[in-house]
Amino acid sequence: MEERDIVKSFITSKDLEELNKNIELCMNNGITLEDCIIYILDYYFYNKEIFEQFVLENILNGSEDRRKIILENLEQTGINDEILQDDRIKEYIKDNFEKVFELLGYESRECFIEGILEEQEGIEFIKDKIIQSNLMTNIYIRTRNYILHVLSKNEEGLAFILNNAKSCFSGEMEYRDIAKMAKLGISKEEIIENREYILERLSGKDVLQFINWLNKNGIDISKEVPLDKFIERLYSNIKDKRTLETIEIFYKELLKRQPNMKYTDIEHLGMGKFSSVYGVGDFVVKIGDGRQTPYLKYNRRILQPLLRQEITGKFPYIEEKEKQDYECYGTFVEIQNKVDTNWYDGLSQEKIFDELYKIYKEFREQGVIWTDISERNVGRLLKRNTTNFPIETLKGKIVNGDPVYNKEGEIIGYKVANSAELEETMEEMIASDNATGITDRREEPPLEAGELVLLDVDYLFPEGKINVEEDREEDPDLRYLIFEDRYRKELKDKER
């Protein structure tokens, strides 16, 4: 049967009996029961009265197969609000909660919960079946917040939240949830007492915000939670164990370079287009998705990376029986020296434009076009712009390539051009181009402290790889187009 014939037979059914006969006819012609029901849900409003009877009847009294298909597909058709607010359906779900709840999608669960929270009986049901049964992780955050909002309206509900804090705030949390806990009446002492539980449910910058809050309240979490657990939460979106171990090594090395620093001193500096950006004392760490430009053509006006590469997860010292390549799913690591990113404070807009244009012109004269021109993409050097990096090395062969690890998985140096036997000492080593992603390096003096350099290199393009005129048609006010016009005018004036 053609789809249009199936749909026509359904939407022209005059009563429930005729609709069921048409379903049986379709199934005899090779159409599955699931497809028949999904057609009815998709075209619900074309025969609303009969289709509503069908849906309600099959949820309440239909076969397990029919009920399961309807409940699993309700929210995809946009009728879950209408069906789940029916008092008979609400009662059915409550009476059969264990087997029905898992069939519902998140939006359907939200509709059901919000519907029964209007009455005290429904509130008690939510306490028992959702909160105390540890199902708060199985609903939207906004639904959890609504439940807590309803409960906190009276003393009894507030007392319940305080006595069931772990269940109420289970699953992933945000730092602002800490403020909600306090607003609901949960004391600072109770939050501190449950700090490890809360920390396990935070991620990214929220982890650092909570750690900072604990520091202000006299708690040094670094004495209780090891670095690897901190890294797991900071990068909770990364699931590969080897990738997390590699990231931990990088942080351990940076912290070791700065003896007075602990991981609790790490700062969240912002979000780039591809990664979160964290400050580790004198260094900046960017870890995230793969880059548009994983390799950089050398230019002294670019902030020279200490490390810039996709993690491959190859550990040279793991046990022979475990030896294999560990894929890390394109996680990209970039480590740089920290620079002054507030260089433009106190400068006029005209002066800022002039400084940015000087950088644009320098790249342009080398056949490169910089398209993402912004103050935030530029920084003022606090030290010489080199890839020199102090590495504590141990005795062992160092060959050309990437970072080298000892048996404990710690970085012991970066592989340099020539093999060498290195003593256990502090040395200024130049990271190899393999480790930094630099190509076509030129011998020239590096820029000194105080100079401006480009921080974000993902929008540097060879002159022939970008269509300036096409960009001009789409948005003639792009800053790079204004700079390009200025550059071309200067060239013409120079030729006269």
- Cα separations in angstroms, 302 against 299, 311, 447, 452, 454: 6, 22, 10, 9, 5
In the chain, % of residues over pLDDT 70: 82
Max mean pLDDT among 5-9, 330-334, 373-377 falls in 373-377
Which of 132-141, 327-336, 360-369 has the weakest average pLDDT?
327-336
Record the tokens describing residue 10, joined without a space: 């359904």
Number of residues assigned to the chain: 496
Task: Convert the pLDDT of each residue in 202-233 to its tens digit.
Answer: 888 899 999 999 999 999 999 999 999 999 99
96 vs 211: CA distance, rounded Å: 43
350 vs 227: CA distance, rounded Å: 46
User: What residue spans define the domains of the chain?
Assistant: 268-339+383-452, 341-380+466-496
56 vs 67: CA distance, rounded Å: 9
Which of 131-135, 268-272, 362-366 has the weakest average pLDDT?
268-272
Task: Convert the pLDDT of each residue in 421-457 to its tens digit.
Answer: 333 333 334 455 555 666 666 677 889 999 999 988 7
Q: Could you tell me which of 33, 47, 34, 36 has the C-alpha nearest to residue 5? A: 36
Confidence of residue 283 (pLDDT cuts 50, 70, 90): very high
Record the tokens describing residue 487, joined without a space: 């550059």
Task: Name the CA radius of gyration of the chain, rounded.
Answer: 31
Q: Could you tell me which of 243, 367, 388 has the C-alpha nearest to residue 304? A: 388
Task: Convert the pLDDT of each residue in 359-393 to its tens digit.
Answer: 999 999 989 999 999 999 999 999 998 876 544 43
Q: Flag whether the pTM goes above 0.85.
A: no
> What pLDDT is stored for residue 425 in this prediction?
33
- Mean pLDDT over residues 75-95, rounded? 84
- Which residue is it, tokens 């200024």? 428
